[in-house]
Structure 1
Amino acid sequence: MQISTRLLSSLLLLALVACDAAKQVTEATSVATSSSVPTTISAASMEKNGLRLTPFFDSPKFPTAQLRMSTPATGSTAPSGAVPFKYEITNFLLTKMSGGMHSEEMANSMKGQHIHNIVDNEPYTAHYETGFTKNVVDGQHVVLSFLSRSYHESLKHRGAYDLRLVTVGKTAPSTPTFDLKAPHLFYSRPKDVYTGKDTQKVMLDFYLVNTTIEPGGTQVRATINGNEFMLDQWAPYMMEGLPMGENTVKLELVDAGGKLIDGPFNSVTRSFSLQP
Protein backbone atom coordinates (compact mmCIF):
# COMPACT_ATOMS: atom_id res chain seq x y z
CA MET A 1 0.00 0.00 0.00
CA GLN A 2 2.90 2.32 0.77
CA ILE A 3 4.32 1.85 -2.75
CA SER A 4 0.93 2.49 -4.33
CA THR A 5 0.51 5.70 -2.32
CA ARG A 6 3.91 6.95 -3.41
CA LEU A 7 3.14 6.05 -7.01
CA LEU A 8 -0.21 7.84 -6.83
CA SER A 9 1.44 10.95 -5.35
CA SER A 10 4.02 10.97 -8.13
CA LEU A 11 1.37 10.66 -10.78
CA LEU A 12 -0.62 13.53 -9.26
CA LEU A 13 2.50 15.69 -9.11
CA LEU A 14 3.32 14.97 -12.75
CA ALA A 15 -0.25 15.84 -13.74
CA LEU A 16 -0.08 19.16 -11.90
CA VAL A 17 3.25 20.03 -13.53
CA ALA A 18 1.88 19.14 -16.97
CA CYS A 19 -1.23 21.28 -16.44
CA ASP A 20 0.86 24.23 -15.26
CA ALA A 21 3.18 23.91 -18.24
CA ALA A 22 0.25 23.74 -20.63
CA LYS A 23 -1.25 26.85 -19.02
CA GLN A 24 2.01 28.76 -19.41
CA VAL A 25 2.28 27.77 -23.07
CA THR A 26 -1.32 28.86 -23.68
CA GLU A 27 -0.78 32.23 -21.97
CA ALA A 28 2.49 32.82 -23.78
CA THR A 29 0.88 32.02 -27.13
CA SER A 30 -2.02 34.33 -26.35
CA VAL A 31 0.32 37.22 -25.46
CA ALA A 32 2.48 36.65 -28.53
CA THR A 33 -0.56 36.53 -30.79
CA SER A 34 -2.16 39.68 -29.37
CA SER A 35 1.09 41.64 -29.47
CA SER A 36 1.77 40.69 -33.08
CA VAL A 37 -1.59 42.01 -34.32
CA PRO A 38 -1.26 45.71 -35.27
CA THR A 39 -3.79 48.07 -33.76
CA THR A 40 -5.25 50.29 -36.49
CA ILE A 41 -8.21 52.63 -36.69
CA SER A 42 -10.71 51.23 -39.13
CA ALA A 43 -12.03 53.67 -41.69
CA ALA A 44 -14.89 53.13 -44.07
CA SER A 45 -14.11 53.31 -47.78
CA MET A 46 -16.33 54.98 -50.36
CA GLU A 47 -16.42 53.62 -53.90
CA LYS A 48 -17.92 54.79 -57.20
CA ASN A 49 -17.24 53.48 -60.69
CA GLY A 50 -14.12 51.63 -59.56
CA LEU A 51 -12.68 54.63 -57.71
CA ARG A 52 -12.16 54.06 -53.99
CA LEU A 53 -11.54 56.71 -51.31
CA THR A 54 -10.36 55.68 -47.85
CA PRO A 55 -9.46 58.07 -45.02
CA PHE A 56 -6.48 57.10 -42.89
CA PHE A 57 -5.43 58.16 -39.41
CA ASP A 58 -2.32 56.09 -38.65
CA SER A 59 0.43 58.47 -39.78
CA PRO A 60 3.32 59.37 -37.44
CA LYS A 61 2.07 61.97 -34.97
CA PHE A 62 3.74 65.29 -34.16
CA PRO A 63 1.27 66.83 -31.67
CA THR A 64 3.69 69.44 -30.30
CA ALA A 65 5.09 70.62 -33.64
CA GLN A 66 4.79 74.37 -34.12
CA LEU A 67 5.30 76.70 -37.09
CA ARG A 68 5.25 80.50 -37.24
CA MET A 69 6.16 82.82 -40.07
CA SER A 70 8.47 85.58 -38.84
CA THR A 71 9.08 87.21 -42.26
CA PRO A 72 7.24 88.94 -43.88
CA ALA A 73 5.98 90.41 -40.64
CA THR A 74 2.30 91.16 -40.16
CA GLY A 75 1.45 94.63 -41.49
CA SER A 76 4.69 95.03 -43.43
CA THR A 77 5.17 95.46 -47.17
CA ALA A 78 7.74 93.33 -48.97
CA PRO A 79 9.62 94.77 -51.95
CA SER A 80 8.59 93.65 -55.43
CA GLY A 81 10.11 90.49 -56.82
CA ALA A 82 11.71 87.75 -54.74
CA VAL A 83 10.02 87.86 -51.34
CA PRO A 84 12.03 86.52 -48.39
CA PHE A 85 10.16 84.03 -46.19
CA LYS A 86 11.42 82.95 -42.79
CA TYR A 87 9.88 80.58 -40.26
CA GLU A 88 10.31 79.54 -36.67
CA ILE A 89 9.77 75.81 -36.14
CA THR A 90 9.80 73.79 -32.93
CA ASN A 91 9.47 70.05 -32.26
CA PHE A 92 9.65 69.17 -35.95
CA LEU A 93 12.71 68.37 -38.06
CA LEU A 94 12.80 69.47 -41.67
CA THR A 95 14.51 67.01 -44.09
CA LYS A 96 13.83 64.04 -41.80
CA MET A 97 12.01 61.07 -43.32
CA SER A 98 8.64 60.65 -41.60
CA GLY A 99 8.61 56.86 -41.69
CA GLY A 100 5.49 54.74 -41.34
CA MET A 101 3.81 52.53 -43.90
CA HIS A 102 2.50 55.42 -46.01
CA SER A 103 6.02 56.63 -46.78
CA GLU A 104 6.52 53.37 -48.67
CA GLU A 105 3.19 53.07 -50.49
CA MET A 106 2.68 56.68 -51.66
CA ALA A 107 4.71 59.38 -53.37
CA ASN A 108 7.41 60.32 -50.86
CA SER A 109 9.93 63.16 -51.05
CA MET A 110 13.47 61.87 -50.69
CA LYS A 111 14.37 65.25 -49.22
CA GLY A 112 12.22 64.51 -46.17
CA GLN A 113 9.80 66.63 -44.15
CA HIS A 114 9.15 70.15 -45.34
CA ILE A 115 6.98 73.27 -45.39
CA HIS A 116 4.11 73.76 -47.83
CA ASN A 117 3.89 77.42 -48.84
CA ILE A 118 0.64 78.31 -50.62
CA VAL A 119 0.03 81.76 -52.07
CA ASP A 120 -3.60 82.59 -52.99
CA ASN A 121 -4.45 78.86 -53.06
CA GLU A 122 -2.18 78.29 -56.06
CA PRO A 123 -0.18 75.02 -56.15
CA TYR A 124 2.14 74.89 -53.16
CA THR A 125 5.91 75.09 -53.23
CA ALA A 126 7.83 72.73 -50.92
CA HIS A 127 10.67 74.07 -48.81
CA TYR A 128 13.21 72.14 -46.75
CA GLU A 129 14.79 75.07 -44.92
CA THR A 130 13.31 77.71 -42.62
CA GLY A 131 14.39 80.52 -44.93
CA PHE A 132 13.93 80.99 -48.68
CA THR A 133 12.84 83.50 -51.33
CA LYS A 134 9.88 83.17 -53.66
CA ASN A 135 8.78 85.37 -56.55
CA VAL A 136 5.39 86.94 -55.80
CA VAL A 137 3.68 89.55 -57.97
CA ASP A 138 2.78 92.94 -56.55
CA GLY A 139 -0.41 93.14 -54.53
CA GLN A 140 -2.04 91.75 -51.42
CA HIS A 141 -1.80 87.96 -51.05
CA VAL A 142 -3.13 85.25 -48.78
CA VAL A 143 -0.29 83.02 -47.63
CA LEU A 144 -0.94 79.69 -45.94
CA SER A 145 2.03 77.74 -44.63
CA PHE A 146 1.95 74.41 -42.84
CA LEU A 147 4.24 71.56 -41.82
CA SER A 148 4.24 68.47 -44.00
CA ARG A 149 5.35 64.89 -43.56
CA SER A 150 7.85 63.62 -46.12
CA TYR A 151 5.00 62.08 -48.16
CA HIS A 152 3.26 65.45 -48.28
CA GLU A 153 0.53 64.85 -45.69
CA SER A 154 -0.16 68.03 -43.73
CA LEU A 155 -0.06 68.39 -39.97
CA LYS A 156 -3.53 69.59 -39.07
CA HIS A 157 -3.43 70.91 -35.50
CA ARG A 158 -3.63 74.61 -34.74
CA GLY A 159 0.04 75.29 -34.11
CA ALA A 160 1.18 73.56 -37.31
CA TYR A 161 0.07 76.30 -39.72
CA ASP A 162 0.31 80.04 -40.30
CA LEU A 163 -2.26 82.05 -42.28
CA ARG A 164 -1.74 85.73 -42.99
CA LEU A 165 -2.02 88.54 -45.51
CA VAL A 166 1.22 89.54 -47.23
CA THR A 167 1.59 92.77 -49.18
CA VAL A 168 4.16 92.91 -51.95
CA GLY A 169 5.11 96.14 -53.74
CA LYS A 170 2.18 98.34 -54.73
CA THR A 171 -1.43 97.28 -54.20
CA ALA A 172 -4.45 98.35 -56.19
CA PRO A 173 -6.84 100.71 -54.38
CA SER A 174 -9.76 98.34 -54.96
CA THR A 175 -8.06 95.26 -53.43
CA PRO A 176 -10.81 93.18 -51.74
CA THR A 177 -10.48 92.44 -48.06
CA PHE A 178 -9.76 88.85 -47.08
CA ASP A 179 -11.39 87.75 -43.82
CA LEU A 180 -8.78 85.79 -41.87
CA LYS A 181 -11.47 84.58 -39.44
CA ALA A 182 -13.93 83.18 -42.00
CA PRO A 183 -14.12 79.47 -42.96
CA HIS A 184 -11.60 78.60 -45.66
CA LEU A 185 -10.63 75.56 -47.72
CA PHE A 186 -7.19 75.23 -49.29
CA TYR A 187 -6.04 72.60 -51.78
CA SER A 188 -2.81 70.65 -51.21
CA ARG A 189 -2.60 67.23 -52.93
CA PRO A 190 -2.60 65.54 -55.44
CA LYS A 191 -0.20 67.55 -57.57
CA ASP A 192 1.79 67.25 -60.80
CA VAL A 193 2.75 63.80 -62.17
CA TYR A 194 2.75 60.35 -60.53
CA THR A 195 4.65 57.44 -62.06
CA GLY A 196 5.22 53.74 -61.42
CA LYS A 197 3.98 52.38 -58.09
CA ASP A 198 3.05 55.90 -56.93
CA THR A 199 0.04 55.71 -59.27
CA GLN A 200 -1.57 52.87 -57.30
CA LYS A 201 -2.34 54.90 -54.16
CA VAL A 202 -2.62 58.67 -54.53
CA MET A 203 -3.26 60.89 -51.52
CA LEU A 204 -5.98 63.54 -51.47
CA ASP A 205 -5.19 66.16 -48.83
CA PHE A 206 -6.65 69.60 -48.14
CA TYR A 207 -6.43 72.23 -45.41
CA LEU A 208 -9.25 73.73 -43.38
CA VAL A 209 -9.05 76.98 -41.44
CA ASN A 210 -11.70 78.32 -39.04
CA THR A 211 -14.04 75.41 -39.68
CA THR A 212 -14.59 71.72 -39.05
CA ILE A 213 -16.38 69.09 -41.09
CA GLU A 214 -18.66 66.39 -39.73
CA PRO A 215 -21.56 64.11 -40.66
CA GLY A 216 -24.73 66.17 -41.06
CA GLY A 217 -22.83 69.46 -40.95
CA THR A 218 -20.22 71.30 -42.99
CA GLN A 219 -18.49 68.94 -45.42
CA VAL A 220 -16.08 68.92 -48.34
CA ARG A 221 -17.58 67.84 -51.64
CA ALA A 222 -14.90 66.12 -53.71
CA THR A 223 -15.67 65.49 -57.37
CA ILE A 224 -13.03 63.20 -58.84
CA ASN A 225 -13.24 62.50 -62.57
CA GLY A 226 -16.95 63.30 -62.33
CA ASN A 227 -17.58 61.06 -59.30
CA GLU A 228 -18.94 62.92 -56.28
CA PHE A 229 -17.91 62.04 -52.72
CA MET A 230 -19.00 63.82 -49.53
CA LEU A 231 -16.11 64.01 -47.07
CA ASP A 232 -17.06 64.48 -43.42
CA GLN A 233 -13.69 63.86 -41.77
CA TRP A 234 -10.68 66.14 -41.97
CA ALA A 235 -8.14 63.51 -42.87
CA PRO A 236 -5.98 62.48 -45.80
CA TYR A 237 -7.77 60.16 -48.20
CA MET A 238 -6.21 57.34 -50.18
CA MET A 239 -7.44 57.28 -53.78
CA GLU A 240 -7.27 53.95 -55.59
CA GLY A 241 -8.47 52.94 -59.05
CA LEU A 242 -7.49 56.15 -60.85
CA PRO A 243 -6.91 55.73 -64.61
CA MET A 244 -3.64 56.50 -66.37
CA GLY A 245 -3.46 59.94 -67.93
CA GLU A 246 -5.05 63.16 -66.72
CA ASN A 247 -7.30 63.15 -63.66
CA THR A 248 -9.32 66.02 -62.20
CA VAL A 249 -10.26 66.86 -58.62
CA LYS A 250 -12.73 69.54 -57.60
CA LEU A 251 -13.05 70.43 -53.90
CA GLU A 252 -15.86 72.54 -52.44
CA LEU A 253 -16.55 73.57 -48.86
CA VAL A 254 -20.33 73.23 -48.43
CA ASP A 255 -22.84 73.67 -45.62
CA ALA A 256 -25.23 71.04 -44.26
CA GLY A 257 -27.57 71.63 -47.21
CA GLY A 258 -24.85 71.20 -49.82
CA LYS A 259 -24.59 74.93 -50.58
CA LEU A 260 -21.16 76.37 -51.27
CA ILE A 261 -19.85 78.43 -48.36
CA ASP A 262 -18.70 81.89 -49.44
CA GLY A 263 -14.97 82.32 -49.67
CA PRO A 264 -12.43 83.06 -52.41
CA PHE A 265 -10.85 79.59 -52.23
CA ASN A 266 -13.74 77.39 -51.14
CA SER A 267 -14.16 75.95 -54.63
CA VAL A 268 -11.04 74.80 -56.46
CA THR A 269 -10.35 72.47 -59.38
CA ARG A 270 -6.98 70.88 -60.15
CA SER A 271 -5.62 68.33 -62.60
CA PHE A 272 -2.82 65.83 -62.15
CA SER A 273 -1.40 63.06 -64.28
CA LEU A 274 -0.66 59.35 -63.83
CA GLN A 275 1.95 57.71 -66.01
CA PRO A 276 3.15 54.08 -66.12
Structure 2
Amino acid sequence: MPQSPRASLSVLSLVCGGLLLLAGCGGGGGGDGVQIQAGDRSPAIDGATARVTAPADSAVVDDDSAAITIEAENFEAGIQTDTERADEIANSGNGQHFHVILDNQPYMANYEAGTLFDLGDLEPGAHTLIAFPSRSYHESVKGGEAYDLVNFYVGEESGEFMLGAREPAIIYSRPKGTYSGDGADRIMLDFYLHNVELGPDGYQARYTIRDAEGGEVASTTLTEWAPAFVTGLEGGTYEVTLQLIGSDGNVVPGPLNDTTREIEVRPGN
Protein backbone atom coordinates (compact mmCIF):
# COMPACT_ATOMS: atom_id res chain seq x y z
CA MET A 1 0.00 0.00 0.00
CA PRO A 2 1.55 3.38 -0.95
CA GLN A 3 2.42 5.66 1.90
CA SER A 4 1.01 9.17 2.23
CA PRO A 5 3.45 12.08 1.86
CA ARG A 6 3.57 14.37 4.85
CA ALA A 7 2.43 17.89 4.14
CA SER A 8 1.67 20.68 6.60
CA LEU A 9 -0.44 23.79 6.47
CA SER A 10 2.55 25.96 7.35
CA VAL A 11 4.20 24.94 4.09
CA LEU A 12 1.09 24.93 1.95
CA SER A 13 -0.07 28.32 3.19
CA LEU A 14 2.14 29.74 0.45
CA VAL A 15 -0.16 28.25 -2.13
CA CYS A 16 -3.49 28.57 -0.28
CA GLY A 17 -6.35 28.84 -2.68
CA GLY A 18 -6.79 25.23 -3.75
CA LEU A 19 -3.75 24.68 -5.98
CA LEU A 20 -2.59 21.80 -3.82
CA LEU A 21 -4.76 19.05 -2.41
CA LEU A 22 -3.08 17.76 0.73
CA ALA A 23 -3.78 20.69 3.04
CA GLY A 24 -5.81 23.84 3.18
CA CYS A 25 -5.53 27.15 4.99
CA GLY A 26 -6.04 27.63 8.69
CA GLY A 27 -7.34 30.58 10.64
CA GLY A 28 -9.87 31.65 13.24
CA GLY A 29 -10.36 30.44 16.79
CA GLY A 30 -7.95 27.52 16.66
CA GLY A 31 -4.90 29.73 16.87
CA ASP A 32 -2.21 30.61 14.34
CA GLY A 33 -0.31 27.38 14.97
CA VAL A 34 -3.02 24.98 13.79
CA GLN A 35 -1.69 22.46 11.29
CA ILE A 36 -3.04 19.33 9.64
CA GLN A 37 -0.52 16.78 8.44
CA ALA A 38 -1.26 13.78 6.26
CA GLY A 39 0.13 10.67 7.95
CA ASP A 40 1.11 7.11 7.16
CA ARG A 41 -0.91 4.05 8.01
CA SER A 42 0.10 2.05 11.04
CA PRO A 43 1.71 -1.32 10.29
CA ALA A 44 -0.83 -3.67 8.74
CA ILE A 45 -2.68 -6.33 10.72
CA ASP A 46 -2.75 -8.92 7.98
CA GLY A 47 -6.09 -10.63 7.46
CA ALA A 48 -7.87 -8.74 10.24
CA THR A 49 -11.63 -8.72 9.69
CA ALA A 50 -14.85 -7.93 11.52
CA ARG A 51 -17.95 -9.92 10.58
CA VAL A 52 -21.43 -9.16 11.87
CA THR A 53 -22.95 -12.61 12.37
CA ALA A 54 -26.24 -11.33 13.84
CA PRO A 55 -28.52 -9.87 12.69
CA ALA A 56 -28.37 -11.19 9.16
CA ASP A 57 -28.51 -8.76 6.27
CA SER A 58 -32.11 -7.67 5.53
CA ALA A 59 -33.38 -9.41 8.69
CA VAL A 60 -36.34 -8.08 10.67
CA VAL A 61 -35.45 -7.75 14.37
CA ASP A 62 -38.52 -7.96 16.61
CA ASP A 63 -37.06 -6.28 19.70
CA ASP A 64 -36.43 -2.53 19.49
CA SER A 65 -33.54 -3.02 21.92
CA ALA A 66 -31.37 -4.61 19.26
CA ALA A 67 -28.07 -6.41 19.83
CA ILE A 68 -25.41 -7.56 17.40
CA THR A 69 -22.61 -10.11 17.41
CA ILE A 70 -19.24 -9.48 15.77
CA GLU A 71 -16.78 -12.27 15.06
CA ALA A 72 -13.13 -11.51 14.31
CA GLU A 73 -10.46 -13.16 12.23
CA ASN A 74 -6.74 -12.47 12.72
CA PHE A 75 -7.62 -9.71 15.19
CA GLU A 76 -7.59 -9.77 18.99
CA ALA A 77 -9.86 -7.37 20.83
CA GLY A 78 -8.89 -6.08 24.26
CA ILE A 79 -5.11 -5.93 23.83
CA GLN A 80 -2.91 -2.90 23.37
CA THR A 81 -1.60 -2.20 19.87
CA ASP A 82 2.19 -2.30 20.07
CA THR A 83 3.35 0.58 17.87
CA GLU A 84 4.99 3.95 18.51
CA ARG A 85 1.74 5.71 17.61
CA ALA A 86 0.10 4.28 20.75
CA ASP A 87 2.22 6.73 22.78
CA GLU A 88 1.66 9.68 20.44
CA ILE A 89 -2.13 10.11 20.35
CA ALA A 90 -5.21 9.33 22.47
CA ASN A 91 -5.16 5.62 23.30
CA SER A 92 -7.81 3.43 24.92
CA GLY A 93 -6.74 1.57 28.01
CA ASN A 94 -9.27 -1.12 27.07
CA GLY A 95 -7.24 -2.05 24.01
CA GLN A 96 -8.16 -2.97 20.47
CA HIS A 97 -11.83 -3.00 19.58
CA PHE A 98 -14.44 -2.68 16.85
CA HIS A 99 -15.94 0.58 15.72
CA VAL A 100 -19.68 0.05 15.37
CA ILE A 101 -21.43 2.78 13.38
CA LEU A 102 -25.22 2.72 13.29
CA ASP A 103 -27.10 5.05 10.93
CA ASN A 104 -24.07 7.34 10.58
CA GLN A 105 -24.08 8.24 14.27
CA PRO A 106 -20.81 8.51 16.28
CA TYR A 107 -19.29 5.05 16.60
CA MET A 108 -19.76 2.77 19.58
CA ALA A 109 -16.71 0.81 20.76
CA ASN A 110 -17.11 -2.95 21.13
CA TYR A 111 -14.19 -4.51 23.02
CA GLU A 112 -15.31 -8.15 22.87
CA ALA A 113 -15.71 -10.42 19.87
CA GLY A 114 -18.31 -13.13 19.80
CA THR A 115 -20.59 -11.64 22.48
CA LEU A 116 -23.85 -9.73 22.25
CA PHE A 117 -23.34 -5.98 21.90
CA ASP A 118 -26.36 -3.84 22.74
CA LEU A 119 -27.27 -1.10 20.26
CA GLY A 120 -29.89 0.43 22.54
CA ASP A 121 -33.49 1.20 21.72
CA LEU A 122 -34.04 1.72 18.00
CA GLU A 123 -36.85 3.27 16.02
CA PRO A 124 -38.98 0.92 13.88
CA GLY A 125 -37.89 0.50 10.27
CA ALA A 126 -34.61 0.44 8.35
CA HIS A 127 -31.15 0.66 9.93
CA THR A 128 -27.63 0.54 8.49
CA LEU A 129 -24.71 -0.89 10.48
CA ILE A 130 -20.99 -0.71 9.65
CA ALA A 131 -18.30 -2.43 11.74
CA PHE A 132 -14.52 -2.56 11.37
CA PRO A 133 -11.50 -3.44 13.52
CA SER A 134 -9.69 -0.62 15.32
CA ARG A 135 -6.33 -0.40 16.98
CA SER A 136 -6.26 0.63 20.64
CA TYR A 137 -5.58 4.25 19.57
CA HIS A 138 -8.66 4.19 17.32
CA GLU A 139 -6.97 3.99 13.92
CA SER A 140 -9.09 1.73 11.73
CA VAL A 141 -7.74 -1.42 10.11
CA LYS A 142 -8.29 -0.53 6.48
CA GLY A 143 -9.12 -2.82 3.58
CA GLY A 144 -11.91 -3.85 1.29
CA GLU A 145 -12.40 -7.14 3.17
CA ALA A 146 -11.76 -5.92 6.73
CA TYR A 147 -15.15 -4.36 7.45
CA ASP A 148 -18.77 -5.46 7.31
CA LEU A 149 -21.98 -3.73 6.25
CA VAL A 150 -25.36 -5.04 7.40
CA ASN A 151 -28.77 -3.53 6.72
CA PHE A 152 -31.65 -4.68 8.91
CA TYR A 153 -35.14 -3.71 10.04
CA VAL A 154 -36.61 -3.25 13.50
CA GLY A 155 -40.21 -4.39 13.80
CA GLU A 156 -41.28 -3.73 10.23
CA GLU A 157 -39.90 -3.57 6.70
CA SER A 158 -40.22 0.17 6.20
CA GLY A 159 -37.93 3.04 5.28
CA GLU A 160 -34.73 3.25 3.24
CA PHE A 161 -31.29 1.95 4.15
CA MET A 162 -28.60 4.63 4.28
CA LEU A 163 -26.05 2.58 2.33
CA GLY A 164 -26.16 -0.33 -0.07
CA ALA A 165 -23.53 -2.67 -1.40
CA ARG A 166 -22.70 -0.61 -4.49
CA GLU A 167 -22.85 3.09 -3.58
CA PRO A 168 -19.61 5.03 -3.04
CA ALA A 169 -19.34 6.26 0.53
CA ILE A 170 -16.95 7.72 3.06
CA ILE A 171 -17.59 6.79 6.69
CA TYR A 172 -16.64 9.18 9.50
CA SER A 173 -14.67 7.56 12.33
CA ARG A 174 -12.41 10.06 14.15
CA PRO A 175 -12.13 12.52 15.82
CA LYS A 176 -14.83 11.97 18.41
CA GLY A 177 -15.71 13.25 21.87
CA THR A 178 -13.35 15.11 24.22
CA TYR A 179 -9.56 15.38 23.94
CA SER A 180 -7.80 16.31 27.18
CA GLY A 181 -4.22 16.81 28.33
CA ASP A 182 -1.61 15.16 26.13
CA GLY A 183 -4.38 13.65 24.04
CA ALA A 184 -5.27 17.15 22.82
CA ASP A 185 -1.80 17.82 21.43
CA ARG A 186 -2.16 15.66 18.32
CA ILE A 187 -5.63 14.58 17.23
CA MET A 188 -6.15 11.92 14.57
CA LEU A 189 -8.54 12.29 11.63
CA ASP A 190 -9.56 8.86 10.35
CA PHE A 191 -12.27 7.47 8.08
CA TYR A 192 -13.41 4.36 6.24
CA LEU A 193 -14.12 3.85 2.53
CA HIS A 194 -16.87 1.85 0.82
CA ASN A 195 -16.66 1.31 -2.96
CA VAL A 196 -14.16 4.15 -3.21
CA GLU A 197 -10.51 4.54 -4.17
CA LEU A 198 -8.88 7.89 -3.51
CA GLY A 199 -6.52 9.57 -5.95
CA PRO A 200 -5.46 12.96 -7.34
CA ASP A 201 -7.82 12.63 -10.30
CA GLY A 202 -10.65 10.73 -8.63
CA TYR A 203 -12.39 10.62 -5.28
CA GLN A 204 -10.89 12.65 -2.44
CA ALA A 205 -11.56 13.00 1.29
CA ARG A 206 -11.97 16.51 2.67
CA TYR A 207 -11.84 17.43 6.37
CA THR A 208 -12.82 20.93 7.54
CA ILE A 209 -12.52 22.12 11.14
CA ARG A 210 -14.56 25.13 12.34
CA ASP A 211 -14.58 26.89 15.69
CA ALA A 212 -17.61 27.59 17.87
CA GLU A 213 -18.39 30.73 15.87
CA GLY A 214 -18.35 28.83 12.58
CA GLY A 215 -15.03 30.21 11.39
CA GLU A 216 -12.80 27.81 9.45
CA VAL A 217 -9.76 26.87 11.49
CA ALA A 218 -8.13 24.39 9.12
CA SER A 219 -8.92 22.02 6.27
CA THR A 220 -7.22 19.28 4.31
CA THR A 221 -8.04 17.25 1.22
CA LEU A 222 -6.56 13.76 1.17
CA THR A 223 -5.86 11.69 -1.93
CA GLU A 224 -4.77 8.52 -0.11
CA TRP A 225 -6.58 6.34 2.42
CA ALA A 226 -4.54 7.08 5.52
CA PRO A 227 -5.07 9.09 8.70
CA ALA A 228 -4.18 12.74 9.15
CA PHE A 229 -3.31 14.61 12.35
CA VAL A 230 -4.24 18.07 13.60
CA THR A 231 -2.08 19.98 16.07
CA GLY A 232 -2.30 23.41 17.67
CA LEU A 233 -5.99 23.51 18.56
CA GLU A 234 -6.73 25.75 21.53
CA GLY A 235 -9.22 24.77 24.18
CA GLY A 236 -12.84 24.93 23.06
CA THR A 237 -15.51 23.28 20.97
CA TYR A 238 -15.04 22.55 17.27
CA GLU A 239 -17.07 21.11 14.42
CA VAL A 240 -15.29 18.61 12.18
CA THR A 241 -16.80 17.92 8.76
CA LEU A 242 -15.81 15.00 6.53
CA GLN A 243 -16.88 15.00 2.87
CA LEU A 244 -16.37 12.67 -0.07
CA ILE A 245 -15.41 14.79 -3.07
CA GLY A 246 -15.85 13.56 -6.64
CA SER A 247 -13.61 14.23 -9.62
CA ASP A 248 -15.86 17.20 -10.47
CA GLY A 249 -14.94 18.88 -7.18
CA ASN A 250 -18.42 18.46 -5.68
CA VAL A 251 -19.62 16.43 -2.72
CA VAL A 252 -20.70 12.96 -3.86
CA PRO A 253 -24.44 12.44 -3.18
CA GLY A 254 -25.24 10.10 -0.31
CA PRO A 255 -26.30 10.42 3.33
CA LEU A 256 -22.87 9.44 4.69
CA ASN A 257 -20.78 11.62 2.38
CA ASP A 258 -21.16 14.93 4.24
CA THR A 259 -20.93 14.36 7.99
CA THR A 260 -20.22 16.80 10.83
CA ARG A 261 -19.27 15.91 14.41
CA GLU A 262 -18.62 18.14 17.42
CA ILE A 263 -15.51 17.66 19.52
CA GLU A 264 -14.17 19.36 22.63
CA VAL A 265 -10.49 20.17 23.17
CA ARG A 266 -9.05 20.67 26.66
CA PRO A 267 -5.28 21.12 26.46
CA GLY A 268 -3.40 20.73 29.72
CA ASN A 269 -6.28 19.05 31.60
Once superposed, what is the RMSD of the aligned Cα atoms?
Answer: 1.7
- Per the alignment, in what secondary structure is the counterpart of residue 223 of structure 1? strand
Superposed displacement of residue 42, structure 1: 7.1
Deviations for 1:150-207, whole angstroms, at most 9, x for unmatched residues? 00000111221001211111243x5467432110111111111010000000000111
Could you say which residue in structure 1 is the equivalent of 2:14?
none
| Structure 1 segment 87-236 matched on structure 2, within 5 A | 87-130=70-113, 131=115, 132-135=117-120, 136-172=122-158, 175=160, 178-225=163-210, 226=216, 227-236=218-227
Superposed displacement of residue 85, structure 1: 0.7
- Per the alignment, in what secondary structure is the counterpart of residue 87 of structure 2? helix
Superposed displacement of residue 43, structure 1: 2.6
Could you say which residue in structure 1 is the equivalent of 2:29?
none
Q: Tell me the amino acid that sits aligned with residue 181 of structure 1.
A: R
Please, what TM-score do these two structures have when normalized by structure 2?
0.82
Superposed displacement of residue 75, structure 1: 2.6
State the distance in 2 between where 1:74 and 1:246 align. 38
Q: Which runs of 5+ in 2 are unaligned?
A: 10-24, 27-32, 211-215
- Per the alignment, in what secondary structure is the counterpart of residue 137 of structure 2? coil
Could you say which residue in structure 2 is the equivalent of 1:21?
none
Instruction: Using CA pairs under 8 Å that are at least 6 residues apart, name the structure with larger relative contact order, 1 or 2.
Output: 2
Superposed displacement of residue 246, structure 1: 0.6
State the distance in 1 between where 2:138 and 2:59 align. 30
Deviations for 1:90-118, whole angstroms, at most 9, x for unmatched residues? 11100010021111111100000001100
Could you say which residue in structure 1 is the equivalent of 2:63?
80
State the distance in 2 between where 1:176 and 1:120 align. 9
Q: Larger radius of gyration, structure 1 or 2?
A: 1
- Per the alignment, in what secondary structure is the counterpart of residue 52 of structure 2? strand
User: How many matched pairs?
Assistant: 235
- Per the alignment, in what secondary structure is the counterpart of residue 241 of structure 2? strand
Identity across the alignment (%): 35
- Per the alignment, in what secondary structure is the counterpart of residue 54 of structure 1? strand
Could you say which residue in structure 1 is the equivalent of 2:259?
268
- Higher helix share goes to which structure? 1
Deviations for 1:228-270, whole angstroms, at most 9, x for unmatched residues? 3211111111111112111121111111221111111100111
Q: Which runs of 5+ in 1 are unaligned?
A: 1-40
Q: Is the 8 A contact 1:80 1:137 kept in 2?
A: no
Q: Is the 8 A contact 2:131 2:149 kept in 1?
A: yes
| Structure 1 segment 53-68 matched on structure 2, within 5 A | 53-68=36-51
- Per the alignment, in what secondary structure is the counterpart of residue 164 of structure 2? coil
Superposed displacement of residue 145, structure 1: 0.3
Q: Which moved more, 1:53-62 or 1:207-216?
A: 53-62
Deviations for 1:38-86, whole angstroms, at most 9, x for unmatched residues? xxx6732231333222222252320211221110012311123221211
Change (3 A) 1:198 1:176: closer
State the distance in 1 between where 2:56 and 2:41 align. 35
Q: Tell me the amino acid that sits aligned with residue 43 of structure 1.
A: P
Q: Tell me the amino acid that sits aligned with residue 128 of structure 1.
A: Y
State the distance in 2 between where 1:90 and 1:175 align. 31
